[in-house]
Amino acid sequence: MPTPRFLTLDDVAEILNVSWSQAYALVRRKELIAIQIGGRGQWRVEVDELERFIQQKYAEARAGTAPAADSSPEAVDQDADSRS
């Protein structure tokens, strides 16, 4: 079976180890490019686009240009979880 071209936001969230709402926020902010399919607007992210996003985040981290940490309650909770 061939590798799928598109991923759901659930797939993206799992790959990035974030919540669905965080994956959706990346799409809303246009940090991660996605397309809407069908009448209900199901979001799909191309595998190559997700890889580009990940590589961009690594480049930002190496250059020290990553945006300041998100101070939203969800981000703070995740930071605390990651330190546990």
User: What CATH number is associated with residue 62?
Assistant: 1.10.1660
> For the whole model, what pTM was predicted?
0.71
Angstrom distance (rounded) from CA 39 to CA 14: 25
Closest to 52 (Cα-Cα) out of 9, 10, 2, 12 = 12
In a domain, 47, yes or no: yes
Handedness of CA 36, 18, 66, 52 (dihedral sign): negative
Query: In which domain, by residue range, is 67 found?
Result: 6-83
Segment 2-50, tens digit of pLDDT: 888 999 999 999 999 999 999 999 999 999 999 999 878 799 999 999 9
User: What is the pLDDT confidence band of residue 80, given thresholds at 50, 70 and 90?
Assistant: very low
Handedness of CA 51, 52, 55, 56 (dihedral sign): negative
Domain count, the chain: 1
